Structure 1
Amino acid sequence: MAVPAEYKNILDSLTTAVLVLKDGLRVQYLNPAAESLFETSITRSRGLPIHHILADSEDTLKTLYAAAHTGQSYTRREAEFVLASGTRLTVDYSVTSASLEPSALTIEIQPRDRLLRISREEEIISQQETTRILVRGMAHEIKNPLGGIRGAAQLLDRELDSEDQREYTQVIIAEADRLRSLVDRMLGPNKAPKLAATNIHEVLERVRTLLEAESRGRLSFHRNYDPSIPEFPGDKEQLIQAFLNIARNAMEAAVENQSDNNSSTPPTITFRTRALRQFTIGHRRYRLVCRVEVLDNGPGIPADLLQNVFYPMISGRAIGTGLGLSITQSIIGQHNGLVECESKPGRTNFIIFLPLEDNQ
């Protein structure tokens, strides 16, 4: 089934991926959008069975065969395609029978990953802003009475002659100071970042050095860096703190997981960096963005915690304060970036996006 030249020009200009199959679901035509989506070309793919470019589930392929046999059209929303390369895509797609050749199928595919990611990022940014407003209000309500309690305890301490009784007032003062410090930590960095030319790999190497010292050789590090990533305007010390919070959590989870399961697999953290072009963070599109991944082979984050992991006081560990990731999101947010998290048992991945241009 050859595509007429006048129609081919139209199909080639579409942003919707169009795939035509015939003769037992063999590839007959891919428009340029489909070539980009499937990471192949029509020259390489023409005549190949569909499973050579789409390593999808048997159910999907069976449905395609049934559609080719019966001529039945159908549509799927937010389906997952697995490419031959292993790449996973979330797509909407429609299958229709070609009118000129009933056994041929036309598949129209709309990728959903970018829209879903933007929607997810908007939700994270909204959560972050809501959290910041709530914490600021709560901090104000807590700090005022704490100041009064501490002041009254100091006055009482001066009036008491008994050392035993003064010991109690000292406890009150110390606990008031501890609560004030906790509230300050919940608020995150209390000063604007001091921007200077920053190399992301210097930041990550500093974090790696600190954790290697803390772990005393129990932790294995893998590094997969993109050396082409340029310097960008950033506060090096704040960024070290942000990545250290993530990597320390990863280290503790991986080490505890090995100990609990008596596993022979060493606790491992992987740092990976990549440059992304024309990438959207929130509502803004940037010419160049740095993507940093911090992966560990720990037990994973429970599903009921994953959606709330960046809220203050949320922690999956009994001794955790639940402030580290909230502070990290705040620091990265001050750099106009964003932190996301993907997790399953044996693999947790924190993904940090940082614009590589001056946005202030």
Structure 2
Amino acid sequence: MDTNNLLNHLVTAVFVIDSELRPHYANAAAEQLLGVGANKLVEQRLPELYQSMGVEIQLLIDSVNANQGITINTASLITLDGVHHIIDITLIPMESEDNLSLLELRQVDQQHRIHQQLNLDAQQQAAQFLVRNLAHEIKNPLGGLRGAAQLLSRELAEPELKEFTDLIIEQADRLRNLVDKLLGPQRPTQHTEHNIHQVVEKVLKLTELALPEKVKLARDYDPSIPDMSMDADQLQQAVLNIVQNAAQALEVEGGEILIRSRTQHQVTIGTQRYKLVLALSILDNGPGIPAELLDTLFYPMVTGREEGSGLGLSIAHNIARLHGGRIDCVSAPGHTEFTIILPLQ
């Protein structure tokens, strides 16, 4: 049996590396994962074949030299072409070879996303149940408070005193609007056929009006994407929330926001697999999202900005869910990417 042929049929990326992390062998899955040809793979050290990987280089070197194995689960990998992956890393010493180890990089992007989405959906449903009950308890006395302020205002003769009742009414309206935003859309609405690029263009026109001079917009559309069934107003709101977040992240140092549309095949959303989906990505080259916020990014009231409400991404996620889709996020300094995944008929 041809061992090389057998290894090339594996879906796991397999390398044989030495103590300088120079590959002596790489299978076909390794070429595909890193986007680098076999000849180049064995000519360079491993750290030169990707942008970043969620493991310290010295740890790998020490493990090879000490003839010890290591396993690291759900580490991030950014390839030279900027693609983000979640991988499991396994290093196994080769007993028959001095200072050589077998390095396996197994992609777990899909499993990680499915687990993340199911967990996020469960947390969102629990949060929305809590918010709905809280909203009911808030809106009833709030309506009474506003009504009482209106009645009191009619009885007051001095204009300067009416300023206080006007303030009460204004703040009551503000709280009611906040509660309404917290609730967000709760059920699917009537969907009609629209072109996703027309929806995005409306968002960009709105954004350009208040865009800082140092922030640029770029487009990378796939014109072959067909019209799809959607609530155009809701999707416009979802895209606007994400684009505005990107603009705010870039307002100090400046940068670029790129809107990219593509199709993807055989994608799992939740527990259902779709033959064809739309992948609408909003990318920026800003400072990135703090690591401690990534797992709770779509929860209501979670924000990394002091002046932020923490509702924009929660509402966007809920809108994507009502369209049968999801939102993925990967972020590192210099690269933040939100991708709205929606089924195409």
Tell me if TM exceeds 0.5. Answer: yes
Are positions 1:92 and 2:89 aligned together? yes
Are positions 1:74 and 2:69 aligned together? yes
Displacement of 1:94 in angstroms is 3.9
Tell me which residue corresponds to 2:210.
214
Aligned CA-pair RMSD: 3.7
Tell me which residue corresponds to 1:175.
171
Once residues 61 and 320 of structure 1 are traced to their aligned partners in structure 2, the CA distance between those partners, rounded to angstroms, is: 41
Larger Rg: 1
Structure 1 SS opposite 2:210: helix
Once residues 11 and 336 of structure 1 are traced to their aligned partners in structure 2, the CA distance between those partners, rounded to angstroms, is: 38
Once residues 305 and 339 of structure 1 are traced to their aligned partners in structure 2, the CA distance between those partners, rounded to angstroms, is: 15
Is 2:188–2:323's contact at 8 Å kept on the other side of the alignment?
no
Are positions 1:142 and 2:138 aligned together? yes
Alignment of 1:170-249 (within 5 A): 170-189=166-185, 192-215=188-211, 219-249=215-245
- How high is the sequence identity, in percent, across the aligned residues? 40
Tell me which residue corresponds to 2:157.
162
Residues 213, 38 of structure 1: CA spacing in aligned structure 2 closer, same or farther, 3 A cutoff?
closer
Q: Which runs of 5+ in 1 are unaligned?
A: 259-265
Name the amino acid aligned to 2:90.
Y
Q: Which runs of 5+ in 2 are unaligned?
A: none
Residues 141, 98 of structure 1: CA spacing in aligned structure 2 closer, same or farther, 3 A cutoff?
same
Are positions 1:321 and 2:335 aligned together? no
Tell me which residue corresponds to 2:276.
288
Aligned positions, number:
337
Displacement of 1:195 in angstroms is 1.3
Is 1:18–1:107's contact at 8 Å kept on the other side of the alignment?
yes
Residues 246, 173 of structure 1: CA spacing in aligned structure 2 closer, same or farther, 3 A cutoff?
same
Residues 252, 77 of structure 1: CA spacing in aligned structure 2 closer, same or farther, 3 A cutoff?
closer
Once residues 296 and 179 of structure 2 are traced to their aligned partners in structure 1, the CA distance between those partners, rounded to angstroms, is: 19
User: Normalization by structure 1: what TM-score?
Assistant: 0.76
Once residues 179 and 157 of structure 1 are traced to their aligned partners in structure 2, the CA distance between those partners, rounded to angstroms, is: 20
Structure 1 SS opposite 2:193: strand
Residues 88, 353 of structure 1: CA spacing in aligned structure 2 closer, same or farther, 3 A cutoff?
closer
Tell me which residue corresponds to 1:263.
none
Once residues 290 and 318 of structure 1 are traced to their aligned partners in structure 2, the CA distance between those partners, rounded to angstroms, is: 33
Once residues 168 and 313 of structure 1 are traced to their aligned partners in structure 2, the CA distance between those partners, rounded to angstroms, is: 29
Is 1:20–1:105's contact at 8 Å kept on the other side of the alignment?
yes
User: Normalization by structure 2: what TM-score?
Assistant: 0.78
